[in-house]
Structure 1
Amino acid sequence: MALRRNPLSLGILAALSATAAAPTLASNESGAVVLQTLEVSGEGIKAETEHSESYSAPIATSATRLALTPRETPQAVTTVTRALLDDYSLNTLNDALELTPGVSVERVETDRTYYTARGFNITNFQVDGLGIPAIYDNLYGDIDTAIYDRIEVLRGANGLLSGTGNPSATVNLIRKRPTEEFQASADLSAGSWDRYRLQGDVAGPLNEAGTVRGRLVVSGSNENSYLDRYEKERNVFYGVIEADLGDNTLLTLGHTEQRDYADSPLWGALPLTYADGSPTNYDVSTSTAADWAYWDNVTRDTFVELQQQLGGNWSAIARLTHLESDSDSELFYQYGSPDKDTGLGLYAYPSAYEFESEQLIADVYATGPFRLGGREHELVVGTQWYRSEVSDLSYYGQGIGTALGPLEDFDGNYPKPAFDAGTAGSDWEDEQTSLYGAARFSLTDRLALITGLRVTHLDSEGVSYGVSQDTSYDNELTPYAGAVYDLTDSVSVYASYTEIFDPQSEIDSNRKRLDPVQGSNIEAGVKADLFNGGAYAALAVFRAEQDNVAEAAGTISGTVDTYYRGVDGVVSNGFELDLAGEVLPGLQALAGYSYVDIENADGSRAKTETPRHLLKLSSTYRLPALPQMRVGASYRWQDAIRNATAEQDSYGVLGLMADYAFTPNLSATLNLNNVTDEKYLNSLKYNQSYYGASRNAMLKLSWKY
């Protein structure tokens, strides 16, 4: 594909070239260390949230790699802090994103999940700002949150740092790091359906001089479920060491391993309609899984970082990450539409599945201030490379198409077949090389202009179920521009623009990957620091125009695999309201309302399976008369949705919490979830679904030193 030139791209490229070549750099005699996500150069603002009760974070780096406050970032950004994760026992990414404003968690199965924002799939998942698009637009298993300090969610396109522009969101998980002082904590949890969890976290210096520091986080959980026969075990290990190699050099080494073992998981889910088209209405606990089925997922993430202070308040950071994912399963799918009177009409589809991926990601960048026109500005320039190798293999079981009895009577007892009826699979490799840069120009004391540009080269080669996946995209430009104007010392208005280039994993009826989505994303809004900086509020208005957007078009003959077609002229408009932080003395809150309207080129509504209206609220309040105790409530609501065959009425889910500190080191937290016992479907992304968890409770005992 030829290099795409446009005035904005060329203007940004010229500006970045000029700033990169600027001969005079700002000199700061203090020699302040610039540690990514830990400290802001010259200001000493700490970004970690684990020792704060706040539901807001002081800075966010997900948009540009410049350490900006939320008000300085010309896009909507939400941070799920460590306090919120702990208060509501949000032990998995699914749990955390369900309370994140503007995000929908599409639980299509028990161990495979999609996520959407602004009506589109979230494909960009990062750890410490580094990552590549999800291979199949979804995640296997549950990502445990024990090892993370916070989760940044940047809504809107983020092609500058992700290599692709997707108008949904970027989810950036920020890891916990070693501490200068010794600290330790342990949590023991027990809840409904025999759910148990033990978590430990210890950090501090490893030598007398404190020049070597470490952290170890371990977690183990074992739980049954409200779903019939479903059980799960999850074990997490995270170890990290950082060493001062000198006054100006920091080396960090870390490794994470997570193992999920699921028995009788859902592959597919419950049929949504009877043969006559009327809706089904099963018990919440109903499952289609066989008693022999399992789905095991293992991920390993090893990383090394080198941070070097260069002088003049500049720093260079080099990072290398090696990520492995393995999935092994034997699964049982039920398909068809049952008869309303007899329950007959469902058929068996057993299959075994193996999936392996290996990703190597390298990222090198430099950041710091420079002087131009008598004013100080900020610049980041870098390069990123990754290689992703993917292979999967399906082993089809004997007996596909065997008629089954009514689902209401199914107890998981189905003979385990031999998985030798046939095999098919994929084996391909993606490789991407990118150059990127962003500059924040302080044009006046109140006006800042942020420009950025990413140049991407992407190659893919291999096969998927016998069809070539060979593609190549050369010198794709993803420009970014944003402006922030301070109306007052606490209120700002902003606008931003970025282009969309988003390679897709969806396949057509011939199993060939669809061409990338292309388009543009515009956003504008107002942001304000409230209550002397203790809270933050924002209003965002956005519009995205896209071509070749994947739309489900049917099922590949002889399989249960969905195929897609590309749709041009898809336009999405909407607005979002956000509030985070201490809104009243002792009252912490994270709240958001979002509205999105998505239309096809002919004006018809698109993406009807995603909600137009979404409301999220989480809060805690420290009782003035009893300061050892905090109480809180969470609530999430969405309006009605539908797909081609079924509908889900609007619904809301209420949660309550109470926390009591017996001593400064020992506390207990009680969470009550789905207090009103609301019955609802988790997703309408496909023509099968299952119900959300019924009323349940979790009690956690926490010790901290």
Structure 2
Amino acid sequence: MKFRLFAGAVGASLLLQPYLALAEDSDTSNDTVTLETVKVNDQTQGRRSDDTEAYTPKSAVSAPTGLSLSRRETPQSVSVVTETQMDDFQMNGVSDVLASTPGVVVDRVETDRIYYNARGFEITNFQFDGLGQPLPYEIVTGDVDTAQFERVEIVRGSNGLMTGIGNPSATVNYVRKRPTADTNGSLSVTYGSWNAARVEGDLSGALNKSGTVRGRMVSAYDNKDSYLDRYEKERGLFYGVLEADLTDNTLLTLGYSHQNDNADSPLWGSLPLFYSDGTPTDYDVETSTSADWAYWDNDTTMAFAELQQRFDNGWEAKGVFTYRKMEGESELFYVYGVPNKDETGLFAYPSYYDDEVTERSYDLFARGPFEVGGRVHEMIVGVNYAKGRVMEQSLYGQGIGTPLTPDQAFGGSYPKPPFDASENGSKWDGRYRSGYLATRLSLAEPLTVIAGGRYVDVLSEGEGYGTSKDASASELVPYAGVVYDLTDVHSVYASYTEIFNPQTEEDASGQRLDPVTGETREVGFKSEWNQGRLYTQLTAFWTDQENLADAIPNTAPDTEYTGKDFESSGYEAEISGELLPGWQLSGGYTFLDIEKDRQGNEQRTYTPREIIRLTTSYRPSGLEKLKVGARVSWQDSIYRGTAPAKRTQEAYTLVDLMAGYDWTKQFSTTLNVNNVSDEKYLNSLYVGQAFYGAPRSASIRFDYKF
């Protein structure tokens, strides 16, 4: 099915290509049509594609205020992963992108369920083009294909103003690709280890002679085996977007995307960490507990409509409607228990799951400049309304609790049972509404103050797995920041945000935990060198959280939680951009400290306290067609449990290498080798089970651009 989806998209791209060419050269005369680009908040209608190799963005980032700010003007820590970085190291999924981002940890607890965290805590805030998905369902399955994005932005710290949810970890903003005024396209083919094959196409340009209607179409198809026994995965993506200049100042944008993921023999849960005598297990890297009949299919559909109106006084108003639907179906096999040295002592837990999550979100805001006291300031004011529904069905298989033979536990041979032992599920609705205002005040030539707040009102109604989901909460979430320019290159800043984070986690009685509350503070030093081509930042942060969900041990697969208080702090250093001509660099160092609990015990020991991320590429002088690079990721040791049943993952380093060559201006080849030292490591200790990361692998990509 996904291959047909991709083939259809490529076919449509080819059918569109004559019309794109016609838009450029349909006039039989020699007259040249020049399209004017209009700058609005560092974006343009019909903007040209950016084919530079920079590891820094040229336009404003998704600041936590919604105002048009550069990274230096934003009083928080901001990282950006550009399309060039994603292409250099074949970061085809968001998980790969975040694993390369300073200060972010990707906890791969299973093959198709992943958690992200920053500053020691889970990331639950996600945005598309600067607008949040406000209902915190926290259902993160599969992976998001990056072919549809021109960059990914990560704002660390609380982002309560633009999301209404002051989670102090980070906000991930996906910046979608948009149509370009010039006709251009690309086609790439990749083949790699474990029969990994990928085809990706991208076509963009004006659809009429005047250039007032523009379109872009992106499609990708991915099919691969795995280093894990029996595991296979197939993924298809289609993304299309149209822009139309209704007037010189009115822009209508319509977009649609669909991604489907089909996984065969995925992990649900993973490998035991200890034997019954308390000694750590040590399996082969390819070991899996999945049954050969297990599968996990996920579909995600998104559609959006934007209407933007610009005014002669510099203001703009924008209305956005977003629809999102996530569907999942799976037959899964969970292996639980503590094994003996002969691999007995484990038990079966087969289940069938069917779930559907829908969300409709409406955003309306206006922003622009105003003058007071002879100085120009900026303001944004907006409202947001969202409503969603969660429906889940769980059918439990016959034979739950059956003792397993070693081959049934690790060889995939457990027979598929009827899924009619019992049934459970949920159906509940969530409603979110908010209003916000923020302003950037230019108090003096070197001093700006940013202040604002968002009022949030959330409500849920329904039932989930036999317990009530009825809950409501409301809060005013303030935000304040100050930026002082020391010189044209250097700035210092400070910011403060309160935390308000509704939670979906449930306690032992099945009741939803109350929202997280608290506050975050941050100070930093930012610089833009070499006319903005190189960016650096130094940051210190402090966070206090109350009633944050913390998993109760040994309650999987239906994990139960309790609310705990946490105090954390740390500092970060980051650099990105062109260090020397031809040398791009992006990386950072993070140090984290989480205070002990009241009994003096270390908390969240499965989260690394020190992290280094580094991505770099270089075109040697005189050999500009050649491009070489490296990606390095290091984290210090983590552990789970206490002696004698204590499992430690020692500090480890992963090194990936790349080399590319431009045979012509249109055709290039890139070779990537990942985990070149063949490091053996556990992906995560986030939960009470874990599986090993991928060993050494290689891939080669062929790119054609036109």
Q: Give the TM bin, normalised by the shorter chain.
A: over 0.9
| 1:656 pairs with 2:652 | no
Give, in whole Å, the separation in 2 of the partners of 1:605 and 1:39: 50
1:508 matched to which residue of 2? 507
Identity, in percent, stands at 50
| 1:606 pairs with 2:603 | yes
Deviates more, 1:693-702 or 1:465-474: 465-474
The 8 Å contact of residues 136 and 506 in structure 1, kept in 2 or not, is answered as no
Query: Which residue identity is paired with 1:592?
Result: G
Q: Against the structure 1 CA distance between its residues 372 and 469, is the aligned structure 2 distance closer, same or farther, given a 3 Å change threshold?
A: same
Matches within 5 A, 1:249-268: 249-268=250-269
1:635: Cα distance to partner?
0.4
Query: Which residue identity is paired with 1:175?
Result: R
Give, in whole Å, the separation in 1 of the partners of 2:52 and 2:154: 19
1:604: Cα distance to partner?
3.9
1:138: Cα distance to partner?
4.6
Q: What secondary structure does 1:488 align onto?
A: coil
Deviates more, 1:477-486 or 1:460-469: 460-469
Deviates more, 1:408-417 or 1:154-163: 408-417
2:4 matched to which residue of 1? none
Deviations 1:644-679 (A, max 9, x none): 242211111000000100001100011100000000
The 8 Å contact of residues 121 and 137 in structure 1, kept in 2 or not, is answered as no
* Aligned CA-pair RMSD: 1.7
Deviations 1:304-356 (A, max 9, x none): 0000012201100100000000000000111111112x111111110011111
Give, in whole Å, the separation in 2 of the partners of 1:499 and 1:125: 18
Of the candidates 633, 636, 651, which is equivalent to residue 633 of structure 2? 636
Give, in whole Å, the separation in 2 of the partners of 1:605 and 1:554: 15
Matches within 5 A, 1:138-537: 138-340=139-341, 342-406=342-406, 410-474=410-474, 476-537=475-536
Query: Which residue identity is paired with 2:545?
Result: Q
1:590 matched to which residue of 2? 586
1:60 matched to which residue of 2? 61
Query: Which residue identity is paired with 2:357?
Result: S
Q: Against the structure 1 CA distance between its residues 409 and 244, is the aligned structure 2 distance closer, same or farther, given a 3 Å change threshold?
A: closer
Deviations 1:574-598 (A, max 9, x none): 0000100001111101101101111
1:3 matched to which residue of 2? none
Query: Which residue identity is paired with 1:88?
Result: F
Structure 1: where are the runs of 5+ without partners?
A: 1-30
Give, in whole Å, the separation in 1 of the partners of 2:604 and 2:371: 47
1:688 matched to which residue of 2? 689
Q: What secondary structure does 1:349 align onto?
A: strand
Deviations 1:389-411 (A, max 9, x none): 11111110001111112269832
The 8 Å contact of residues 33 and 309 in structure 1, kept in 2 or not, is answered as no
Q: What secondary structure does 2:85 align onto?
A: helix
Q: Against the structure 1 CA distance between its residues 90 and 400, is the aligned structure 2 distance closer, same or farther, given a 3 Å change threshold?
A: same
The 8 Å contact of residues 123 and 138 in structure 1, kept in 2 or not, is answered as no
1:620: Cα distance to partner?
0.1
Deviations 1:77-104 (A, max 9, x none): 0000000010000000011111011100
1:262: Cα distance to partner?
0.4
1:21 matched to which residue of 2? none
Give, in whole Å, the separation in 1 of the partners of 2:286 and 2:481: 49
Give, in whole Å, the separation in 2 of the partners of 1:531 and 1:621: 18
Deviations 1:501-536 (A, max 9, x none): 001111100111110110000000100012232110
Structure 2: where are the runs of 5+ without partners?
A: 1-35
Give, in whole Å, the separation in 2 of the partners of 1:554 and 1:606: 13
Query: Which residue identity is paired with 1:549?
Result: L
Query: Which residue identity is paired with 1:356?
Result: E
The 8 Å contact of residues 571 and 601 in structure 1, kept in 2 or not, is answered as no
Give, in whole Å, the separation in 1 of the partners of 2:684 and 2:577: 30
The 8 Å contact of residues 106 and 683 in structure 1, kept in 2 or not, is answered as yes
Deviates more, 1:593-602 or 1:117-126: 593-602
Number of aligned residues: 665
Give, in whole Å, the separation in 2 of the partners of 1:698 and 1:496: 43
TM value normalised by structure 1: 0.92
2:19 matched to which residue of 1? none
Matches within 5 A, 1:103-118: 103-118=104-119
The 8 Å contact of residues 37 and 61 in structure 1, kept in 2 or not, is answered as no
Give, in whole Å, the separation in 2 of the partners of 1:166 and 1:664: 45
The 8 Å contact of residues 541 and 576 in structure 1, kept in 2 or not, is answered as yes
Give, in whole Å, the separation in 1 of the partners of 2:672 and 2:125: 31
1:5 matched to which residue of 2? none
Query: Which residue identity is paired with 1:38?
Result: Q
